[in-house]
Structure 1
Amino acid sequence: MSAEQYAINHKLVREHGLEPYEGTPLDVRAVIAGLPQNVKDGFRFDAVPWGRFGHAYGPGDDVPGLLAQVRSSNAEVVQAALRELWASIVHQGTVGSVAPLTIPFLLRAASDPTAHHRANTLNLASAAARREHWGSGTRESFLQVTRQEWMYDCGGYAMNWSIEASRSAIAADTDLLLPLLHAADPDVRTATCYALATASCEAGRITDALCARLATEPSPTVRASIVLAVAELAREHNDPRAVTWSRTLWPDPTQFADVRVSAALAWLCLVDDPVPNDLRTTLDTLITADLTRLLNDVPWIANVDDENGLARTIDQMLDKAQPGAIDSHPWD
């Protein structure tokens, strides 16, 4: 392709949709699928077509320099680079077309046990692989990774393609992520759950690993993240087993309160049944100020509200409150 052909012709898209670009060098899904392993493992930034794709502030030519800084031994340099990447490639929830190309390198940086800000690095990769639903904790949206309708980024590129490519990039590195479920830092384990839940394939293997970890996981926040990750994978991959699994967990008095509450939320998102009275009673009994504080740090819940996420989520799921409205006693 010539330089002119490395740009989307929006008139052509309006007339024929994106089909003319499927599988071409302008299809970020094809670019991700074709990245050689040695390019990813060797941080070969020079072998990636950054400038062909963009973010909120223009072409992605500046991205490899920022990714190099994410690997710095200086924690402040890493933090600044991540802040700039967050602001550009997932600007206000808009996934730029260059974002999927960062994921193999973000995951490899986060897998280094000596790296700084590993959880935030993983969360950045996750943000590029899922729809934005800030403030929405409804049963329909809470575990929704993708949307059916077409969405476009700041440059007019189809976010559906970008998110699909990001999910494929995460799935391709399942073997890199699974060991992080056993990382020493619980924040890294939580972020790993959130990333794995977006994988476009390998759902069965990931689910098995998550369930195995749940049996020994000491952190309430991570346990809740495991439950929600299993449910999100089941929702995206049409696996009915999670319905029975979550329905068994939330009434079980031998389970931790964090597991029971997260399982109740998961079950509500996996079925269309009316909210049972015993589920309301379970939540009313289990939810305390301490548990609320812990569960507010779970990524799915924090995305609903970073201070009152659990209250907002339960209010929307149980009583169909509009996103953003809080009932001070949502489980009454």
Structure 2
Amino acid sequence: MLDGLDDIGWRRLGHAYGAADDVPDLIRALRSADPAARDDALGTLYTTVFHQGSRYEASAYAVPFLLELLSDPATPDRPAILALVTSLAIGYDEAVLPDGFPIGSYRRAAEGGRDLLAAKPAPWSGEHQATKEYVEYTYVESLDAADQARLWAYVDVAVYDAARAGVPLFRHLLADPDPWVRTGAAYALAWFPEEAAGSVAALARATDVSQVTGAGAVEVATMLVASGLLNAAPDHRWLADPPAGGPVRRRRRTGTGAGPGGRPHDGRGADDLDRRPARRDGRPDGRRLAAVPQR
């Protein structure tokens, strides 16, 4: 598990706070037996390789190892890791809804960005903030607006394509025993239109299975919306009110009961569910973002 993680030149790669040499330990901590250690590692990854929706050079290198963790049923908190991978792929979904992810536009915008990224100097690394050198920031600021846009678009596409490699895994996870993994997998598939043919078929099969298993409303709705974002024709069987006692039941916005797949419900309605970890705008030590400019 995680073979090759230490073979990456993380110190040469940058994230929101400079050199990404802390990323390997953070990824390993996602398999820790200590829930607090896992939560801290996940939160720190959200503030480094995915800071306020921005992705960085190191982000694309982290994704394959996150996918490897997802592929192992023994990995704890897989729904949270799946949410991180999806966030890395697309940023915040509200920016691309209701139309889906415009990957064609991103690819066109990224033309020329590879050479600009290759010319970027290695990020600063060290323990003492007083001696920090803003080498990446200075380089990016030296570019005109058009080249900055090309650079960032190339970074975003590189991360997106790293996550796209996980599409076969996401389809496989539609049959996972954990309903939250199944729901997260359906959500992830929604953002890869270049893989639509296989994903729509996989989502259709999973939706049919849900009629037999009595999957929760959030899970089924996510599958249907994901199919729609991939331009699939609507399945009219699910557009009418279900019969009493059918597999999808209306649930009051408040109250308790069973959640998706029988998981205990916490009293929130479907509109309130958001399993993405809360945004964290700063590191635990309070340092300000400085290595690269915000977009």
SS in 1 for 2:234: helix
Q: TM-score, normalised by structure 2?
A: 0.63
Tell me the alpha carbon deviations over residues 71-129 of structure 1, each in whole angstroms, 9 at most, x when there is no partner.
Answer: 22332222211110011111111122211211111121122222221111111110111
Mapped pair 1:50 → 2:10: yes
Match of residue 178 from structure 1: 171
Which of 252, 273, 276 matches 2:240?
252
Tell me the alpha carbon deviations over residues 185-236 of structure 1, each in whole angstroms, 9 at most, x when there is no partner.
Answer: 22111211222223363321111111110112212111111112112233xx
- Cα separation, 2, equivalents of 1:87 and 1:77: 15
Q: TM-score, normalised by structure 1?
A: 0.57
Quote how far apart the aligned CAs of 1:42 are: 4.6
Contact conserved, 1:249 with 1:255, CA < 8 A, in 2? no
* Shift in alpha-carbon separation, 1:74–1:167, aligned structure 2, 3 A: same
Quote how far apart the aligned CAs of 1:60 are: 1.7
Residue ranges of structure 2 left out of the alignment (5+ in a row): 114-135, 141-147, 260-267, 278-295
Contact conserved, 1:71 with 1:78, CA < 8 A, in 2? yes
Quote how far apart the aligned CAs of 1:173 are: 2.6
* Shift in alpha-carbon separation, 1:75–1:249, aligned structure 2, 3 A: same
Match of residue 69 from structure 1: 29
Match of residue 87 from structure 1: 47
Which of 200, 221, 225 matches 1:224?
221
Return the letter of the residue paired with 2:100.
Q
Match of residue 18 from structure 1: none
Match of residue 159 from structure 1: 152
- Cα separation, 1, equivalents of 2:61 and 2:71: 17
Contact conserved, 1:198 with 1:233, CA < 8 A, in 2? yes
Contact conserved, 1:95 with 1:128, CA < 8 A, in 2? yes
* Shift in alpha-carbon separation, 1:287–1:183, aligned structure 2, 3 A: closer
SS in 2 for 1:72: coil
- Cα separation, 2, equivalents of 1:215 and 1:255: 16
Match of residue 199 from structure 1: 192
Contact conserved, 1:128 with 1:166, CA < 8 A, in 2? yes
- Cα separation, 2, equivalents of 1:183 and 1:167: 23
SS in 2 for 1:125: helix
Mapped pair 1:112 → 2:72: yes
Match of residue 293 from structure 2: none
Match of residue 144 from structure 1: 100
Return the letter of the residue paired with 2:269.
R
Between 1:50-59 and 1:210-219, the stretch displaced more is 50-59
Between 1:192-201 and 1:65-74, the stretch displaced more is 192-201
Mapped pair 1:102 → 2:65: no
